[in-house]
């Protein structure tokens, strides 16, 4: 059994305890330790809804609509843009529309946005202190309505809409149904518990919203502090679109080679700080035996910045990806590697390319703090490696 995980690097001395702790919160194909057969069924739920054809045909309009809304919000901001807060809202808006078929502006409510941006901190605390999770949840559960206000309102809205969709879709599993409904029908068909159902739905919401929102926010921050890179990315957009304000097509996205390289270089600095694989048998590596069942930690943060694999690793250089060297296969894994890698890579990348195309064509970004540079960026490990000191961004509309 091979499992993909990502945790705080400080967990290297007790990864198994942290893994169990995280398992109490979520129970889907990415976070819960499960047999191959169970994993395959849960992974199938995701794979069917994240395949390339579905992303391009079913989610494209959602990506366009949400990216337009994001650009308009940025333009309306007079005091600077907090990319973390805005991207958290937009990414969860995308998740609700694509995975749950739910339309709501509630994700843009300030209380919800504040909580969504804190999820990474709460999750990191929980994985670091797994013994406190169960008693802590029991203590806090009666206070949920008071503590989480609008977030509870959002949760009730989601469950209410799912219930309405179920009542109007009393039929066998069908691909045209949203992922959430298909999952519930499958879980009930297999007589799994309601508690397990809520955990899996919770994971859909987090994995399709939180990770995408975090990466997008960090990418926008890096774009803002790298003016030369931003200009090159805009020039590519200008070559493709000129003065045409149309939405980008799939063919347009495929032409954005520099934007592809920019995103790859962003992912080299960002993404999971490490992941783990569980040995299915005794493995010998350089004379050292790794026993079956051992959770092996790969320190991706260090591999992606190691001079053995990367030239001038601390320099932000998208053009390094002009060289398609074989060594990149295992030293560059922003979405994991192997059969249990993240199935949402195309979903996330397409949404980010559409959003960045819209931003680059309409806006110029720069830090409100004029002297802030890429060298001032600090990275911190939560569930993902991300920018710790994201600068507020000043927005100027391109003429």
Confidence class of residue 329 from pLDDT cuts 50, 70 and 90?
low
Is the predicted pLDDT of residue 19 greater than 50, yes or no? no
CA distance 260 to 257: 5
CA distance 126 to 25: 9
Task: Please report, in range form, the residues annotated as the binding site.
Answer: 342
Confidence class of residue 64 from pLDDT cuts 50, 70 and 90?
very high
Average pLDDT, the chain: 80
Say what percent of the chain tops pLDDT 70. Answer: 79
pLDDT of residue 74: 95
For the chain, the helix, strand and coil percentages under 3-state DSSP, each to the nearest 5: 60, 10, 30
pLDDT of residue 23: 39
Q: What is the pLDDT of residues 220-241, one digit of tens each?
A: 999 999 999 999 999 999 999 9
| Separation of CA 364 from chain center | 25
User: What mean pLDDT is predicted for residues 89-110?
Assistant: 90
Give me the residue label for tokens 């202190």.
129
**Residue with more model confidence, 260 or 309:** 260
Helix (H) or strand (E) holding 165: helix 150-167
Confidence class of residue 120 from pLDDT cuts 50, 70 and 90?
low
pLDDT of residue 274: 80
User: What mean pLDDT is predicted for residues 60-84?
Assistant: 94
Q: What is the pLDDT of residues 331-375, one digit of tens each?
A: 788 887 777 788 889 999 999 999 999 999 999 999 999 999 999
Task: Please report, in range form, the residues annotated as the binding site for heme.
Answer: 342
pLDDT of residue 282: 93
User: What mean pLDDT is predicted for residues 91-114?
Assistant: 88
pLDDT of residue 338: 74
Strand partners, 385: 271, 381
pLDDT of residue 170: 57
Give the helix ranges, DSSP H, for the chain: 15-23, 36-50, 52-54, 60-76, 83-99, 110-128, 133-140, 144-148, 150-167, 179-189, 194-225, 227-241, 250-255, 257-269, 300-303, 328-331, 345-362
pLDDT of residue 132: 47
């Amino acid at each position: 059994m091979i499992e993909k995980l990502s945790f705080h690097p400080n967990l290297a001395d007790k990864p198994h305890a942290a893994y169990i702790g995280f398992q109490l919160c979520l129970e889907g194909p990415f976070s819960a330790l499960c047999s191959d057969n169970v994993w395959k069924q849960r992974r199938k739920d995701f794979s069917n809804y994240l395949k390339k054809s579905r992303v391009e045909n079913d989610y494209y309009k959602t990506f366009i609509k949400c990216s337009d809304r994001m650009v308009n919000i940025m333009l309306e901001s007079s005091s600077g843009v907090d990319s973390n807060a805005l991207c958290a809202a937009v990414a969860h808006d995308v998740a609700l529309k694509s995975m749950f078929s739910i339309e709501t502006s509630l994700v843009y409510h300030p209380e919800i946005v504040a909580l969504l941006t804190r999820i990474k901190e709460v999750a990191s605390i929980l994985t670091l202190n797994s013994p406190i999770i169960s008693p802590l949840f029991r203590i806090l559960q009666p206070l949920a309505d008071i503590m989480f206000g609008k977030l509870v309102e959002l949760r009730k809205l989601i469950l209410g809409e799912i219930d309405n969709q179920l009542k109007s879709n009393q039929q066998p599993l069908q691909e045209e149904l949203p992922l959430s409904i298909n999952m519930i029908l499958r879980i009930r068909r297999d007589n799994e518990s309601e508690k397990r159902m809520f955990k899996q739905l919770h994971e859909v919401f987090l994995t399709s919203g939180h990770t995408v929102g975090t990466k997008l926010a960090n990418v926008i921050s890096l774009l803002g502090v790298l003016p030369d890179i931003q200009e090159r990315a805009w020039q590519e957009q200008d070559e493709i679109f000129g003065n045409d304000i149309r939405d980008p097509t799939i063919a347009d996205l495929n032409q954005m080679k520099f934007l592809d390289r920019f995103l790859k270089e962003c992912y080299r600095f960002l993404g999971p700080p490490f992941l783990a694989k569980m040995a299915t048998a005794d493995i010998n590596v350089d004379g050292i035996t790794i026993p079956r069942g051992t959770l092996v930690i790969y320190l991706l943060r260090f591999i992606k910045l190691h001079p053995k694999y990367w030239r001038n690793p601390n320099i932000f250089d998208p053009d390094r990806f002009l060289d398609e060297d074989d060594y990149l296969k295992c030293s560059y894994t922003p979405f994991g590697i192997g059969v249990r890698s993240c199935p949402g890579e195309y979903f996330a990348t397409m949404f980010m390319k559409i959003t960045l195309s819209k931003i680059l064509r309409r806006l110029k970004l720069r830090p409100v703090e004029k002297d802030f540079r890429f060298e001032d960026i600090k990275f911190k490990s939560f569930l993902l490696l991300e920018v710790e000191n994201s600068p507020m961004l000043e927005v100027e509309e391109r003429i």
